[in-house]
């Protein structure tokens, strides 16, 4: 007699094993980049709140300091008097809050600072993984853009299987389907716009730049997936020559 129960149990165990063994660097990279994005968003929202709150004490600071990280650092490191001197303000619309009211504001600032530093650590972690797992991609795109591309493709394997024209448009799916459906102008680049050579290109050659960068990314990622040698430096050099 066939023991269905035992067959069922065995296949469940084997499926669980398959799932367990499918966990790889792809998953680490995707989780890390998702969290980096989330932490950046979080830090920005909380800094907005901090600006609001600190405005009770010194509204002039928020106007002068546009950069979020600098703003948080200043709130933590300097008190109101020092900031008066540094910004050369004579008259402020803010109230000189006493310690009890300032304490939660400073604590919020410290929290935001620690979110920033966690984000930086995750970046480093991402760099460590990528420099061993996909060193060519890493050298062409850097950690953040490379991880983002892997996240959008789903895995290094799927990214390696894509033609470079797909890589060029990853992240621009909405615009692409709008083009296919309504005949609007096709997108020239997706996430790849984050690459400095694309974003710094003049608008009329940006499409061309995106195409060249996508070419090299595609070559890099294929080399990584099929365990090729390190060709990152060569790719970067060719790219710079082409786009000069």
Can you give the binding site for a copy of itself, defined by CB under 8 A?
13, 16, 19-21, 23, 27-28, 31-32, 34-35, 38-39, 42, 45-46, 49, 52-53, 56, 91-95, 100-101, 103-104, 107-108, 111, 114-115, 118, 121-122, 125, 128
For the CB of residue 149, give the shortest distance to a copy of itself in the complex, in Å: 19
Q: Show the tokens assigned to 162.
A: 């894509």
For the CB of residue 76, give the shortest distance to a copy of itself in the complex, in Å: 14
* Side-chain-facing half-sphere of 92: CA atoms under 13 Å: 22
Which lies closer to a copy of itself via its Cβ, residue 133 or residue 225?
Answer: 133
Which lies closer to a copy of itself via its Cβ, residue 95 or residue 157?
Answer: 95
Which lies closer to a copy of itself via its Cβ, residue 39 or residue 72?
Answer: 39
Which lies closer to a copy of itself via its Cβ, residue 126 or residue 220?
Answer: 126
For the CB of residue 32, give the shortest distance to a copy of itself in the complex, in Å: 7
Which lies closer to a copy of itself via its Cβ, residue 68 or residue 218?
Answer: 68
For the CB of residue 38, give the shortest distance to a copy of itself in the complex, in Å: 5
Check if the beta carbon of residue 71 is closer than 8 Å to that of residue 61.
Answer: yes
Which lies closer to a copy of itself via its Cβ, residue 2 or residue 23?
Answer: 23
For the CB of residue 59, give the shortest distance to a copy of itself in the complex, in Å: 8
For the CB of residue 178, give the shortest distance to a copy of itself in the complex, in Å: 29
């Amino acid at each position: 007699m066939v023991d269905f129960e035992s067959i069922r149990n065995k296949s469940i165990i084997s499926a669980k094993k398959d799932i367990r063994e499918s966990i790889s660097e792809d998953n680490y990279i995707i989780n890390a980049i998702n969290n980096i994005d989330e932490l950046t968003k979080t830090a920005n929202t909380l800094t907005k709140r901090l600006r609001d709150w600190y405005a009770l004490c010194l509204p002039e600071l928020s106007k002068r300091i546009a950069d979020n990280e600098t703003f948080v650092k200043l709130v933590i490191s300097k008190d109101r008097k020092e900031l008066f001197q540094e910004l050369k303000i004579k008259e402020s619309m803010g109230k000189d809050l006493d310690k009890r009211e300032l304490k939660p504001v400073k604590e919020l600032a410290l929290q935001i600072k620690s979110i920033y530093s966690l984000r930086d650590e995750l970046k480093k972690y991402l760099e460590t993984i990528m420099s061993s797992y996909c060193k060519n991609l890493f050298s062409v795109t850097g950690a953040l853009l490379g991880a983002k591309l892997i996240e959008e493709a789903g895995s290094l394997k799927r990214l390696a299987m894509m033609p470079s024209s797909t890589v060029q448009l990853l992240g621009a799916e909405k615009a692409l389907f709008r083009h296919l459906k309504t005949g609007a102008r096709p997108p020239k680049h997706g996430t790849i716009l984050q690459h400095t050579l694309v974003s710094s290109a003049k608008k009329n050659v940006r499409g061309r730049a995106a195409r060249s960068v996508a070419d090299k990314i595609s070559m890099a990622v294929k080399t990584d997936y099929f365990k090729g040698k390190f060709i990152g430096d060569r790719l970067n050099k060719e790219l710079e020559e082409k786009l000069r």
